[in-house]
Amino acid sequence: MSYPAKEIRIQLPHIDLAARVYGPEDGVPVLALHGWLDNAMSFELLAPKLPGLRIVALDMAGHGFSGRRAPGAGYQLWDFATDALLATQELGWSKFSILGHSLGGIVGVLVAAAVPERIERLALIDGLVPDTGEAAQSPKKLGEALLAQIDVHTKKKTVYSSEAQAVQARVRGFMPVSELAAQLLVSRGLSPVGGGYCWNTDVRLTLPSPLRLTIKHAQAFVQALQCPVSLVLAEQGLLVNVPEFMAFMDTLDKQNMVIHRVLGGHHLHLDDEQGAQAVAECFAEFLAAR
């Protein structure tokens, strides 16, 4: 039986979040978290291929149809982690699984490590830990971030003359995607403005991070995971071909982690139906287990 996706809003004490919901009301609860500068449509091809789940795909703060943070607030990893926990509390979920892509996977790891009693399972797509930085670099990085925040009002968004132009720009973006993936993301991520269209993401999402976790921090979070983990690494994605990341993986005790290496790019679950099916085959039984 198919279940049409529906739209909901989740009012948190500090921000209003939008979400796209898939699956039966009595399905296994799964919170889906998308990647940086994406939105809930990231799971549009994958979610229908995961039967028996109640998937709530958030537009994370500052993305898609969700609210923007108040002036002076930021978009750090722990801010997204707080949003995730508050959202599931509003949904009435005492325990749940997380399906995360890229940034969403990183946030999922932080949440699962910090409050392991709340998380049943982690299904991660090309995302595990953030870019790290060692302590000696912290003063310089903080300085760069502070100056960028002061100058944020000078950042201008690109205005596209048509939705089609925005789609092509997304296809060729920093993390290239297929035309289908770009169309899906544009459908939730573009707003009309004077003279055309622009991405509705908060410009503050593009500011540099004021503080990065060290490698030891990253190792500690992964080693603190108590739930089963299923990690899809895209063969043409962001992680497999980064020697530092693969070296990091070699330092981990992966007793509770199953790793799948799957053909495709960083957005393999969204680029086409074949990629979505390949990811679904890694996650369907894993996430549906009670």
191-217 average pLDDT score: 95
Q: Which of 66, 97, 102, 230 is catalytic?
A: 102
Is residue 186 scored above 80 in pLDDT? Answer: yes
Q: Answer whether residue 130 shows pLDDT above 90.
A: yes
Q: How far is CA 46 from CA 97, 169, 224, in A?
A: 16, 24, 28
pTM of the entire predicted model:
0.97
pLDDT tens, 135-180?
A: 999 999 999 999 999 999 898 899 999 999 999 999 998 889 999 9
- Indicate if the pLDDT at residue 263 is higher than 90: yes
Instruction: State the pLDDT confidence band at 114, using cuts at 50, 70 and 90.
Output: very high
What was the pLDDT predicted at 44?
A: 98
- Three-state DSSP string of 187-209: HHHEEEECCEEEECCCHHHHCCC
Confidence band of 58 (pLDDT split at 50, 70, 90): very high
Respond yes or no: is residue 230 known to be catalytic: no
Secondary structure element (H or E) that encloses residue 113, with its range: helix 103-114
Burial classification of residue 195, based on how many CB atoms lie within 10 Å of its CB (0-12 exposed, 13-18 middle, 19 or more buried): exposed
Q: Please, are residues 109 and 130 in contact by the beta-carbon 8 Å criterion?
A: no
Contacts of residue 248, defined as CB under 8 A and 6 or more positions apart, other chains included, come to 129, 215, 218, 219
CA–CA dist 67, 255 (Å, integer): 39
Residue 239: what pLDDT? 96
The position carrying tokens 């790793």 is 259
For 26-56, what is each residue's pLDDT tens digit?
999 999 999 999 999 999 999 999 999 999 9
| Average confidence score pLDDT of the chain | 96
Task: Write down the pLDDT at residue 290.
Answer: 76
C-alpha dihedral sign at 65, 189, 81, 263? positive
pLDDT (mean) for 177-204:
96
For residue range 206-217, what is the model confidence (pLDDT) as tens digits? 999 999 999 999
Can you name the CATH fold of 6-134+213-288?
Rossmann fold (3.40.50)
Task: Write the pLDDT tens digit of every residue in 75-108.
Answer: 999 999 999 999 999 999 999 999 999 999 999 9
In this predicted structure, what is the pLDDT of residue 155?
A: 86
CA distances from 247 to 72, 127, 260 (A): 37, 15, 17
Residue 253: which pLDDT band, with cuts at 50, 70 and 90?
confident
